[in-house]
Structure 1
């Protein structure tokens, strides 16, 4: 497990009493069971499934950008929710100490996450600016872990030589050498905010970008993407303003319920090890509705984690229905979990990759699923 003594240099404890206005949490609330890093108390990370980490760093949005501590405002709302998932344990590392410079905060976050990757728990980062995705990735790069990364964002933050880290961090993340990103997915971009050449560039790299409207047509298509993801980064600007008032970018976006569903899909992923929720700016919020939205997304992440805990390993073939399919002169196998109803398809190399029921239907009609083709392209 992680050496918590070493991590304490980077972390500030939090207080349940402060979070709940000096009231005791009910044992049926998440705050009643969560194991927090408080003065004089070290959380038991070994017993946890999910580990929270607050990072109230906003300088990546530009000079002079600093506001109230967003992570604690989210915690206040999250810990008041009721605890339904008895098989999911929550620990809380407290808040990352801000560095003298933005680069110092990046280095501290990378160090803490690097240590946490050893634990095989899922770390949820409560931001903070969306540029914190970059040190989130660097934690994997430091360990030379080759990963699949997924970002949910109305924008594509690929602006070259931008003086504002939050608008250009993807350029560093996707182009620095050596690079440890096997594949990149972008969910929920809004076309009118994105230069067409950005999409052309990402497509040439065989990365997958999913437009907001396309994802909303069939939200379940995003589940296999997240099931295959190691690093997930979400900017709350994907949620429409009426459901998340702190999103001042656009009136359009996912509904609050759809954002909760994406978070649940992330929780269901056995591969996911870090999940950053970024872009919450309390000064722009109204009646803390956005904080409550994020808290409910965290609750649904726990719900997904509970589903994940019940899933069988692919090697346990008795727990799956097998469907042998021939399409376009290709013989392959589809698996459907008897426990969760999720699907996998076999590639020519005999590896199984996550897919959706729609992929099975296409193959049954002798059509090649686009997901199958994209996987094959990346392997060639």
Structure 2
């Protein structure tokens, strides 16, 4: 049971009437279906699968907090969309109260997210600057949960000399002791923004970094990465400027459609429990296009969660096609889901890890899949 009376100390309610200009939502719009924390209504979080949480804290990026409620601008667009996934129950816990200091906001976010993931909920955090990822991670560390984390960002925020928390929060995550990161993935970095030695360091740690161009060549290869992820953090600067005007870092990046595909893959993950979308600055947005982009990413996350609900457990072998393969004197097993078409491969310790069809093809041609090698190195 989630104790919402305890969470209320950290939260402020939201008004559907203000979000929709006093208009009534249609029966099948998300704004009608979602269970929202309002002044006169307490949401039943125990009945929800996915819980939204707003966080307006941006001081870690060296900016004053916006006078506009950034999460509410995204909500306004998200609530207008139609709810096609009736098997995914949505709730909205409202907005996090901004602390007197950034550390206070971190502590509040950590406390609320910890309670929600302990209650078995998937939490979507609408930020806020990207350094809130650290508080997102702390929600697991507090409980000593060992996790796999994935960040999608054009930059790699490991700038040791920077005074901005948003540019160096990964240092805190990687160097904190005790450490509860089992593995880290970075998706969509743009090489010309990244110090080469930084990538060498991450590779020595056996972390996996995927360059933007490589991901765009075959975006489906990222689905197994997200399937194994507990924490996902997205900076909207991963999206090119024309598709997200509030992202002014680069003319290059993921397209809006590709960002939605990544969000859908995240929703398909049975492992993922927190998903933060950060870096949205409404002052830079044009016609709320970036807010609409984020709203559609959230819709695709729900679409993926609906697929996840249909997937069988690996123990239900009748729901999978089984392929026994021998490559370079190694005997292993590949599984393909009859329901979703997704693949898994077996490591020498007999554990199955997510993989792609391309890994099966390599093994069939007596080649060792790189994903298999990287998994072995980490073991």
TM-score, normalised with respect to structure 1: 0.99
1:228 aligns with 2:231: no
Unaligned regions of 5+ residues in structure 1, if any? none
| Closer, same or farther: CA 66–15 of 1 in aligned 2, 3 Å | closer
- Counterpart of 1:52 in structure 2 is 52
- Counterpart of 1:15 in structure 2 is 15
Aligned residues: 379
**In 1, distance between residues paired with 2:188 and 2:304?**
20
- Counterpart of 1:175 in structure 2 is 175
1:121-160 matches, cutoff 5 A: 121-160=121-160
Please state how far the C-alpha of 1:70 moved relative to its aligned partner: 1.0
Please state how far the C-alpha of 1:49 moved relative to its aligned partner: 1.0
1:133-282 matches, cutoff 5 A: 133-282=133-282
**In 1, distance between residues paired with 2:65 and 2:120?**
34
Q: Conserved in 1, the CA contact under 8 Å of 2:241 and 2:248?
A: yes
**In 2, distance between residues paired with 1:252 and 1:65?**
27
- Counterpart of 1:96 in structure 2 is 96
- Counterpart of 2:318 in structure 1 is 318
**In 2, distance between residues paired with 1:301 and 1:154?**
21
**In 2, distance between residues paired with 1:277 and 1:90?**
17
Please state how far the C-alpha of 1:163 moved relative to its aligned partner: 1.1
**In 2, distance between residues paired with 1:132 and 1:67?**
19
SS in 2 for 1:262: helix
- Counterpart of 2:26 in structure 1 is 26
Q: Deviations over 1:195-214 (max 9, x none)?
A: 00110010000000000000
Q: Conserved in 2, the CA contact under 8 Å of 1:326 and 1:366?
A: yes
SS in 2 for 1:24: coil
- Counterpart of 1:299 in structure 2 is 299
Unaligned regions of 5+ residues in structure 2, if any? none
Give 4+ residue runs of structure 1 displaced > 4 Å after superposition.
none
Please say which of residues 120-129 and 65-74 is displaced more in the overlay.
65-74
Please state how far the C-alpha of 1:66 moved relative to its aligned partner: 3.5
- Counterpart of 2:309 in structure 1 is 309
- Counterpart of 1:362 in structure 2 is 362
**In 1, distance between residues paired with 2:4 and 2:35?**
14
Q: Conserved in 2, the CA contact under 8 Å of 1:67 and 1:281?
A: no
**In 2, distance between residues paired with 1:20 and 1:49?**
24
**In 2, distance between residues paired with 1:253 and 1:179?**
31
1:336 aligns with 2:352: no
Please say which of residues 140-149 and 23-32 is displaced more in the overlay.
23-32
SS in 2 for 1:130: coil
**In 2, distance between residues paired with 1:78 and 1:357?**
34
SS in 2 for 1:116: helix
Q: Conserved in 2, the CA contact under 8 Å of 1:328 and 1:367?
A: yes
SS in 2 for 1:287: coil
**In 2, distance between residues paired with 1:27 and 1:277?**
27
Please state how far the C-alpha of 1:67 moved relative to its aligned partner: 4.7
Please state how far the C-alpha of 1:97 moved relative to its aligned partner: 0.2
Please state how far the C-alpha of 1:65 moved relative to its aligned partner: 5.2
**In 2, distance between residues paired with 1:328 and 1:275?**
39
Q: Conserved in 2, the CA contact under 8 Å of 1:59 and 1:66?
A: no
SS in 2 for 1:206: coil
Q: Conserved in 1, the CA contact under 8 Å of 2:56 and 2:65?
A: no
- Counterpart of 2:36 in structure 1 is 36
| Closer, same or farther: CA 293–63 of 1 in aligned 2, 3 Å | closer
